[in-house]
Structure 1
C-alpha cells in the first residue's frame, strides 16, 4: 500500500521536485574520488611544509656556519636520515595518488560522463509505466497527495553543478596532478637528488684548504635551495588546487 501511494505522488511533483528526487547521495565513485583528494591534499601539504622549512630555516642556518665542511657534513647526514619509511610514504605515496586521480578524471572525460559527483541518478518507481500511460490513483492516494502537497512545495532541491563548474574543477585537478608529479616529484628525482649525490662525494682531504669547501657548499646551497623552493611552491599550489576541487564537489 505504501508503494501505491508514493508512486502517484512522484508523478504529480513539479519538475524541480522530480529533479531533487532523481539525485541520491552515496555514489561510490564520488566517495573514492573524495578519499583520494583528501589524502592527496594531506600529502602535498606535508611536502610543501617540509620544503618550506628547508628553504627558510635549514639552509640559511647551514649557510651561517663559519666552517663550510660542517654544513656539508650536516647536509649529507640529513640526506641519509631522511630516507625513512615515514618520509618515503609521503614522498612516493602522494604522487601515486595524484596519478590515480588524473587517470580517474581522464577516464570520465573519455566516457563523456564528466567528473563524478556526490549524487547518483535513479528513476523513481511509478513515474510512468513502460507503455507511457499514467497509473490510476485510488481515493486514498488522492487524499495522501493533498495532505503532503504543501510539504513538497516547500522542499528546495539540491543544486547540481553546471557543466562549466565541472570543467573548471576537472581542469584544476589536472593542473594539480601535473604540478605534483612533475613539479615536485620530477624536480626532486631529476635535480635535487643528483645534487645530493654529488655533495656526498665531496672529500675535503685532497683539496687541502677551507676555500674549496666554502665554494662547493656555496654553489650547492644556492642551486639546491632554488629548486627546493620551486618544488615547494608547486606542492603548495597543487594542495590549493585540490582543495578547490574538493570544495567544489557537492
Structure 2
C-alpha cells in the first residue's frame, strides 16, 4: 500500500457522501420544493426562493458544495496518474461527471438564474416572466445536477468497492 492509498480512500468516501448529500438536496427541489413554490402566489414564491438562495450560501451547504467539488477534481486528477489501478476509471468518471454536471452547471446556469430572480420586483409583470422562465429552466438544470450527483456518488462507491 502506498502512502496515497489512505488519502484516495478518504477522498472517495468524502466525495461519495458529499455527492449523495447534495444529490438528495437537489432531488428535493426537483421532486417537490419548486412545485410547492409554483403553487403559491408568484410574489411569495419568488420571495421564498430568493430567501432560500441567500440562506443556503451561509449554511453547511457551501463547505460540502466546495469541498466535494475540490475532492472530485482531485480524484479525477489522481485517477489519470494511477491509470490501470482498480477503480481508476470510476474515479475519473465520477470526478468529471460531478465537476461538470454539478459545479459547472451550477455556475453557468443555476446561479445566473438565481441572480436574475433576485433582480426583479416579485409582484411585477417582469417578475412573472422571470419566474415562469426560472421554474422551467432552473428545474431542468437542477435535474441535471441531481442526476450528476447521484451517478457520481455511485461511481465513487464503485471505485471504493474496486479498491
Pair in the same fold by TM > 0.5: yes
In the alignment, what sits opposite 2:20? 45
- More helix by percentage: 2
Equivalent position of 1:98 in the other structure? 72
Residue number among 21, 45, 53 corresponding to 1:79 in the alignment? 53
- Helix, strand or coil: the match of 2:94? helix
Equivalence for 2:152:
238
Following superposition, which runs of at least 4 residues in structure 1 exceed 3 angstroms of deviation? 211-215
Cα distance, 1:212 vs structure 2: 4.7
Kindly indicate whether the alpha-carbon contact (under 8 Å) linking 2:79 and 2:89 is maintained by their aligned counterparts in 1.
no
> Aligned ranges for residues 74-153 of structure 1 at < 5 Å?
74-109=48-83, 114-115=84-85
Q: Find the structure with the greater CA-based Rg.
A: 1
Q: Secondary structure at the match of 1:195?
A: helix
Q: Mapping of 1:151-230 within 5 angstroms?
A: 166=86, 169-204=87-122, 207=124, 212-230=126-144
Counterparts of 2:64 and 2:44, CA distance in 1: 29
The Cα offsets for residues 167-218 of structure 1, whole Å up to 9 and x where unpaired, read as xx3222211111110110000011000000000000157x4xxx55433312
Question: Cα–Cα, structure 1 residues 204 and 49, in superposed 2: closer, same or farther, change >3 Å?
Answer: closer
Q: For the residues of structure 1 that align with 2:140 and 2:127, how far apart are their CA atoms?
A: 20
CA distance in 2, matches of 1:197, 1:27: 46
Matches within 5 A, 1:7-26: 26=1
TM-score of the pair, normalised by structure 1: 0.62
TM-score normalised by length of structure 2: 0.93
C-alpha deviation, 1:56, in angstroms: 0.8
How many residues align structurally?
A: 163
In the alignment, structure 2 segments of 5+ residues that lack a partner are none
* 1:103 shift after superposition: 1.8
Q: Single out whichever of 78-87 and 45-54 deviates more from structure 2.
A: 78-87
SS of equivalent residue, structure 2 residue 82: helix
**Displacement, 1:247?**
0.6
